[in-house]
Structure formats: structure tokens, C-alpha cells
Structure 1
């Protein structure tokens, strides 16, 4: 490797020349995964990984100048791990491993850990193929993990590298995909069916939950829905759609007509709780694995769904018309199993709170599956979990879903410690895992509120918070969700506040003087507080389990510092939708009242 020139200016300037050794190589094998890294489709990346923990990348960039690619810690340039390469006009190439010191200066790594495989250029494109290990032991290289990656790409018009002046892009991407489209069985004959709103006027409100009920395809024999994809209407080059959920309805339900607020004055628009498909910001289409799909067309299958679309119109733009929804793909080519979705996490009520000014604050929601058989009506087979979707709002920084059996941790089912609100997608597990009746599922969410001066409460608005994990599994059962929430009175007491009931407990949080110490005390109290577990079925019957002990016993981080002990205080009650679901949006007192109602109904 021969350095031809290396110039430093305010924006950083260098040229690096090495002989071209790539022109006579055979065509490399195709890479399984691919995505554009920019909105204009100028930077196309393919990638793959193997059992030796090596990641191979190929970038095809619409330029004849320099090309850069790398990893950012949290989306900013300083601290980023970057590789830069290109082809000089004389045909020689340059390629080297660098890191960003600040917004304007790069330094070459002493350890060159990216291995160049090929580098070519034609009249339009520069194509670079290289590889590196997931972990290089170089402190200037960022590890490649199962978390969401923040990828930086950039290019210039010639071979004088001025990184701060080139076109630069940032994209969040999940690199550890395990199933490529070519590994999925596409049926030869299939049909499509759209579940969407038609010419819906988006209200001039920051948050709107619009719901309607739509029939599934009418078929005379069993079919399988094997794929879904979003239909998103863009407005002024952006989407107002925060998420779309499709809930299956029990066939005995009496459903309203029209479009209304999902959680407003008419509780019937919150009927149906069995999630069958979902999309959120940053997601794309999803095709189920070859083993399972959603069944339609049999007497046991739902005939109607509730379509829920959450709009975020923060700029209060008037006159917007929307036609968003979900497109279903279905076929007679049946899979071995019918699949279901289990919603877990923290039950979405204002009893779930996050203090302001927190660099990190963890919330926990428990699912205890001991009542599954009773709720299902028949014994529930083992759940074979193959995929997941994680969901928080803007303060969310990471999520973990952990499985326990008889008080011992079995595994971390899934996690993302670099969660990005702008990339919410259904992901496949590396291997199918088994959940047995009686197991406990703990969802941990990590939040950051350094930019907030008021408490963030759980709720439906994007400015509220959620802590949810959707687990995709087979064979299906009637359980739609299993979530928990902590005893707010215990938390208030631990923070030196008096509260005679849950309402006073929530109000008391506003009188706490929040600082690092009280934030840590609140997190510890919420972690150790008794949890009420709410289990819902497709017909919205509910069981509430009041767990008498939640003991932190100082285990290692991988065990989430938890040991659970249920003392058998259980009450089973069938509650109406009006008793379960929150009342008008964004009104904390009404949400709190609803929470008190369900709390009263569930406890002994």
C-alpha cells in the first residue's frame, strides 16, 4: 500500500493509492440481503453474514468519486467507524479503515480490520465489496450486534475525499436477518385483499386513533394469509401514519359501522384484541416462514378485523386525506400450522410512568401464563415463537423479552439495545423457541428523558409511552395478550409519598423532586412492586393475577436481577370492553379512572 498524498484541512482531505488486484477475480457469490441507504436510491447495499461471525458488504453507489460507509454509535458522526475507497482515473484503487474524531476530522485506524474483496468503477457506478468480523478488538471499530445498526454512507463527485462536503446519509437497519426472500416459499397462485381507510380526512390533532371494521376475504375453504405489506399515503414527502394494527374479531362480536376514535366515547370501536398483523414507522412487508400462516375460511377463523391506524399530525396540517392500510396476500397452498400473535409488555395505562431527566430508566411488564389453559378453554399447546416486533415511543432506547420457568431464567427471547423509533419492523428469530404454559415472560424497556421536564405517562399518544413486544408463534390459541403493570401505591410509598388509592398514587408522582437518586429509587420500586397481570382472549374475556411478591435478588444483568414468586392470589373475571379499555385519548384523569376500574375488578 503506497500513500500518494494525505492532506488535512478543516474538512479533512486525503488520497490513498494501492494497486488494483481485483479485475481478474471470478464473480463473487450473491449476498442474501439488500437495501437502499438513502431516499433517492443512490446508495445500494447488499450484505450477508456467516457462522464464522464475518459480515460481507457490497456497496453500489451512483458516483465515480470516493465512497464511504460505516457504523455510528447513535446516529452522529463523532465516534463512527468508517471505511473509504474508490478508483483513481488511472485505474488504481484506494481503500482504508478510518474513524471519526469529530464532525470535521477523520483518523486512519492503526489496525486495518476491513478486508477489501473487490473495487470497480464504470461510467456511472462505483462498486465496493469488503468484509470484517463482528468484533475486531480494535477500540476504533464498532461491534456488529443483533441490535439496530445506525449506518453512515457518503460519496463525492471525484477522488478528493472531503467527507464533510460530500453527500452523507444515515439509515437505521437490522443487519442480523436470518431468512432471505429466496428462502421463503412463494405460492404460484395467490390473491390480495386490502384492509384500508378510504379518503379519510386526518383530523387537525396531534394524535388520532382511527378505527373501522372490515371483512376478511370471503372464501369457501381454508386459505392461509402468508404475507402482508403496508399501504402508506405520503403527505408532503412524509407519512402521518405512526402505526397500523389489524385485530381479529371474535365471530360472536356485534360490531359497529363507520370510522371512529378507537378509544373514544363509543367503546365498541375498541372491540377485538387479537393482533394478526402490524406495521409501524420504518417497517416494510413481512412474509411468514414456511411453517405457519394466518388461517381464514374455516368456522374457527375470524370473519372481520378491526383496522386501527394511529396518526401523528404534530404540525396540525389541515386538509390531509389518507388511504393507508395493510395489503394481505393469501393462498390455497397451506402451511403446516396456523399462527397467532401474543402481545406482551406493560399494560398501557398512566400507572406506567417515566421520570423526567433520566439518562436511563427501566420499566418492566410481566406475563404469567399459568391461567392460559383456563382462559383458552382447552389445553394450550407449546408456543413455538418464530418472530417478534418491539414497540415503544420516542423515549424508548432498548427492549428485552426474557423467558422464565419455575423462577429460573430460560433465555432472552429477543432484544434490541439500540432501538430506533424510526425502524419498527417484524423480525425473525435465529431459531424457533418454545414457551410452555406456566412460563413467565418479562418485558424490559429502557427509556431516556433527558430532554423532558415533566413525567411521561403510559398512553396512546406518541408523546406518551408504551412498552410492548408482539411474539409471533404457532400453533395458534385464543390468548391475544398477556401484560402486567406495577402497584403504583407501593411505588409512591417507596418515594415517600402517601397514597390511599391508585389515583392518588399517580398524582403523587408529580410531587416527587426528580433527581438521579429519586429516579433510581423509582426504578427499583417499580421493579420490586407487585404486578397485576391481565390476560385477554380474542373475545375480550380477562383474567387478572395479583402477584404478591416481586423480589430483586441482585442477580447478574443477564438475569435482569429478577426472581418471581406468585403466591396464588388469583381472581378470574370476564370484563366488558367498556370496563377494560381507556376512555378519551390524552385525558390523564379519564385514563386513570379506567385503570382504577379494571384494578378494582381484578383484585381480591
Structure 2
């Protein structure tokens, strides 16, 4: 991935390392689709105020009622054996906090299990506080149970927090056997469900939109080189008009070798750059992308996305007219004779929308970090300084989704909000990152104000490395980014810090602030005390596990060239302890 003419950052993956049956690109993820037929469900539905159908047939139903400390959930399936409902960070099995119900010698058995990976979930040590059974049923071809789950987990080594105010991933599996083991094919799924009642801005599914127009950007066919990493670029002219708005994104995975699509907005490009329109793709390590505005992307695990009525991403003569489509091909086995013509489709309107949506890039600028090998967790932190956010409108902006991105070593991510020297509630936290299950994380509309400092932290596991790991483009390197969608749109595109090393520009050297504005030809670099100033951090939550099932990490393990600000961050202490044997797969997901 090439972020602006100043920055190089990569989204990379090895074909051999991806799960074999990933959730198909473009397949709609069901979101709060409720079924009208609930007569077969044995528990009282009056105790709930929310309902979602988790499968396509209406045979797996989820109900809930959120509370202050505990929330109540009911799950029912037209099946005769065990039934499992997992609370997942990403829609993957890895890190899922799972409720399992089944019959055992005439009595209903309830267990809390935890999946350390794509392996059989183990029984959690806590069977008392995190989850509590209220009732269980199995009769007439139906298995169902009602239970309570704590909203804020006590032990994040085996449990997860629940996003009761916004969107939550659920995974499920069922069987016609009461023995907890691998289910039959098709008896599983995942769904991104809105538990909260706040206004939704975008959904991670493809929805029809009335009176919308369509356009598709297609890369000319390329012969995929017999090398591990290849980046290709094509310039495109957007549909004409002074003001248009993207209403929905429809990515397509055209090749098994395709591992990301990124669309960049082009501001202030030259006539020579525009001559690339209609030309063959440029596939070269030496190509310098002149376009520095992030529009959108696709990575493994992502489906399409649709904005709710009244919202749209602006483009046109008043914004930008040209875009650069970047494709990354990964060919670790050096297979010859492969070709691809990648494309990215959109729906849009030329009619005004009520609210314009913008995207803000946070994280590492230039891949100037190194990860120490042999560590369970190594942190990289980057600061978005108040000097840059001070350019936001006086009333501030409202963030409604975040896309966190790392490579295979990525484990946890966080964006913190620092206001007046104190941390307020985090903008976003994501544990158990999985490269094959990436998505745009819905937020409960968080207000950001001019002068706020944002700190993006990524945590990586390097236990399998014997040499330092560099940030970079290839599959064997790493990256740390968070893309925030917000409204109303403004001209600030990227906010971070930049390590100039020993070079000097405009009298600056070392680590400086970095702010990219679409109205200016170059990103601004400046001295900022915020990069090193300490702040009052919120206390950690979810770390009351006993020593046998929790492991902490010290920020002193950070790479040597990380900023001093990272040492003041509260650590994301959750470790993914992989089981030594695979055992039975409880494959909740299409993986």
C-alpha cells in the first residue's frame, strides 16, 4: 500500500497462510434481519427488546436485552444437539468468548468456553461470573437457552467485552448431536449485529439504494509476476459533476493472488499524471503514487459496505476528479502464468446528501519502525498531534467507524483520545486481530474536538521471528494503520508523526508532527511537544485474571525507534495462547 507521495505502507499476506475457506468477498453479512416466525422458540420473548436472525433460513434466532453490568441473551436453533453462541472481536473464531448449551443425562448443560484460535474451544476457568445460565431447553427438534453475560469482562485472557452500545460480531454453531465436537458442514455462521439503539451511518453489507447510479473502476489485465510482492497502479477519471457522493462500496476479488485493493483520491495532480487514464497498469517498485487521499479499500475478510440514507462520501470537481487504483498481488510460491484484471464497483448519486462523510488516516507514516524478535507482544504507537486536529471545524467531527490494519503478526489495536492531558473513553479497541477477518468496526458515534490528541497503538507477536521485523510492503513485514470514517468531511486527510532520522528539512530533525491537508501541495511537518508529553491514562479493565490464565506485557519491549509517547500507553495485555494440538475444529466461520 502506498499512502501519499510521502509514505509507504503495506497490506500484505501469504496465500499459504490464509484460512482455506474465507468468508466470500461481496457476500452480504446479515445485520439485524429478524424473522417473523418465532412461534417455535420455547422461552418467553417478552424479556427481550432486540432480535436478529443469524442464518439465511431463519432457523437460528438471537434475542437480547442490554443492561448496565450484565446483558441477557437468548439463542434458539432448529437443531437437536449442542448449540453455541460466540462473542467475537472480528467475526473469527480466534478470541471468541463462547456460550455452549446441550443436554447431558437428561439435564441441560451450560458452559463458557474460549477459542484461542481455529481450534476446539477450551472450557474457561470462570464458570460463575462471566456467563450465567437462566434457562435451557431441548425438545421437538429445538435447542434453546437464555443466559446473562457481563458487559465488561473480568479476564480478557479468556473473555471479551461486549459492544452493547453499537455493533457486535456473533458467531454460532449447532449440531444434531449433544457431544461437543466438530459440527457438520453448513451448521455455522457469523453475523454483525447492532445491539445499541444509536443512529447507524454505514453497514458492512451490500444493500440496494433507490435512484442510485453505478460505476466500476477496472485495472487493465496484468500478468502477475513470479515474485512474492507486486504493486500495480492505474489512474481513473471519476464520473463527471461538481458534487457527487459515493453511497456504497462493492469490492470484487478477481484473483486468489489479489490481497488488497486501495482507492486514492488525487488532489493537485499534473496533466502528465492525468495521461495515465486508460493506460496499462504500472507494476513497479519504483512507481511514486502522486495521489495522497484515502477513499476506501478492500482487504481479506471485508464485504461490501453501504451508507445509510442521507450520508455519502463526496467527489467531483469541487473535491477530486481523479483516483488511483492500487492492487497488491502476493505470489509466494512464484507461480507462473497468472493474470488478473481487478475492479472496484460503487454506487453513487449526483443529488445532494444531508451529511458528507470523510476519512482520516492514523498510524505509522513511512513504515519507519522495527519490531524486536522473539516477543509475545511488541507495541508500536504513533501520535496524531493537537496542532493537526486543531484544523478541524470548531464544532469538531463525529467518528462512526474505524478500520484497523496490520499484517500477520498483528494481535491488538487501539486508538486513544487525549483531551486536556487526560484520556477519555478510547475511540476504538480491537483485540484478537486476524488478517483474514478484517472489517470496518462500527462505533457509537464518538465526538472528537479540535486540539484532541489521538494515539494509535498496534501490538504484534514476534515469537516466530529470530531477526528484527521491519515495517514495509512485503508479506514478511508489518504495518500499523487505523482509518477513521467521520462526519462532516473536512480537508485533513492524515494526522500522525514522522521520524526524519538524521535528515533535516526546514530546520527540523528527528520525530516531528505530520499533517496532510487536501488543499496543500505537501504535508506539513512541525515540532510538537505532544509526541513526548505524558498524560493521565485510564486504568486498565478486564485484567483481574489469576496468574494462571493471564499474562501482562511491559511497554519497555517496544522497538527502539518508537516514540517516547508509547511508553505512557496502558498495555493491551491480552495474549493469544495457541493450543499445541488442533483437536476438533469448532468451525463457526466460513474460513
TM range (shorter): 0.5 to 0.7
In structure 2, what is the Cα distance between the partners aligned to 1:78 and 1:534? 35
The answer (yes or no) to whether the contact 2:102–2:108 under 8 Å persists in 1 is yes
> Deviations 1:430-458 (Å, cap 9, x if unpaired)?
1241231x332211111111111111111
Alpha-carbon spacing, 1:418–1:533, altered in 2? closer, same or farther (3 Å): same
Corresponding residue to 1:308 among 326, 333, 337? 326
In structure 2, what is the Cα distance between the partners aligned to 1:152 and 1:252? 45
Alpha-carbon spacing, 1:110–1:446, altered in 2? closer, same or farther (3 Å): closer
**Aligned-partner SS, 2:387:** helix
- Note the C-alpha offset of 1:153: 4.5
Deviates more, 1:221-230 or 1:354-363: 221-230
> Deviations 1:294-332 (Å, cap 9, x if unpaired)?
1234x3122111111222223333333334332211124
- The two structures, once aligned, show a CA RMSD in angstroms of 4.7
> Which residue in the other structure is 2:270 paired with?
253
Corresponding residue to 1:409 among 423, 442, 457? 423
Alpha-carbon spacing, 1:48–1:213, altered in 2? closer, same or farther (3 Å): farther
Is residue 452 of structure 2 the alignment partner of residue 448 of structure 1?
no
> Which residue in the other structure is 2:314 paired with?
295
The answer (yes or no) to whether the contact 1:208–1:261 under 8 Å persists in 2 is no
Q: How does 1:93-492 map to 2 (within 5 A)?
A: 94=108, 96-99=110-113, 109=127, 113-116=132-135, 126=142, 128=144, 130-135=146-151, 142-146=159-163, 153-156=172-175, 158-163=176-181, 178=196, 187-219=209-241, 222-235=243-256, 240-250=257-267, 252-254=269-271, 255=273, 256-257=275-276, 258-260=279-281, 264-267=285-288, 270-297=289-316, 299-349=317-367, 351-371=368-388, 382-436=396-450, 438-486=451-499
In structure 1, what is the Cα distance between the partners aligned to 2:124 and 2:388? 59
- Note the C-alpha offset of 1:358: 1.1
Is residue 527 of structure 2 the alignment partner of residue 546 of structure 1?
yes
- Note the C-alpha offset of 1:353: 1.0
- Note the C-alpha offset of 1:142: 2.8
The answer (yes or no) to whether the contact 1:367–1:442 under 8 Å persists in 2 is yes
In structure 2, what is the Cα distance between the partners aligned to 1:479 and 1:370? 12
- Note the C-alpha offset of 1:533: 2.4
Deviates more, 1:201-210 or 1:107-116: 107-116
**Aligned-partner SS, 1:370:** helix
> Deviations 1:567-602 (Å, cap 9, x if unpaired)?
xxxxxxxxxxxxxxxxxxxxxxxxxxxxxxxxxxxx
**Aligned-partner SS, 1:163:** coil
> Which residue in the other structure is 2:517 paired with?
537
Alpha-carbon spacing, 1:161–1:365, altered in 2? closer, same or farther (3 Å): same
> Deviations 1:52-101 (Å, cap 9, x if unpaired)?
4525354546x54443344589988999644123799xxx9945335479
**Aligned-partner SS, 1:284:** coil
Deviates more, 1:210-219 or 1:533-542: 533-542
- Note the C-alpha offset of 1:479: 2.4
**Bigger radius of gyration among the two:** 1
- Structure 1: gaps (5+ residues): 1-19, 489-500, 504-528, 565-604
The answer (yes or no) to whether the contact 1:244–1:280 under 8 Å persists in 2 is yes
> Which residue in the other structure is 2:551 paired with?
none
In structure 2, what is the Cα distance between the partners aligned to 1:107 and 1:407? 38
- Which of the two has greater strand per residue? 1
The answer (yes or no) to whether the contact 2:225–2:336 under 8 Å persists in 1 is yes
- Note the C-alpha offset of 1:149: 8.2
The answer (yes or no) to whether the contact 1:343–1:468 under 8 Å persists in 2 is yes
Alpha-carbon spacing, 1:151–1:26, altered in 2? closer, same or farther (3 Å): closer
In structure 1, what is the Cα distance between the partners aligned to 2:201 and 2:140? 28
Aligned residues: 484
> Deviations 1:157-185 (Å, cap 9, x if unpaired)?
x4341525766989787666657989989
The answer (yes or no) to whether the contact 2:82–2:103 under 8 Å persists in 1 is yes
In structure 2, what is the Cα distance between the partners aligned to 1:434 and 1:100? 35
In structure 1, what is the Cα distance between the partners aligned to 2:74 and 2:199? 15
In structure 1, what is the Cα distance between the partners aligned to 2:267 and 2:122? 60
Relative contact order, higher structure (CA 8 A, sep 6+): 2
> Which residue in the other structure is 1:54 paired with?
71
In structure 2, what is the Cα distance between the partners aligned to 1:358 and 1:170? 34
- Note the C-alpha offset of 1:130: 3.6
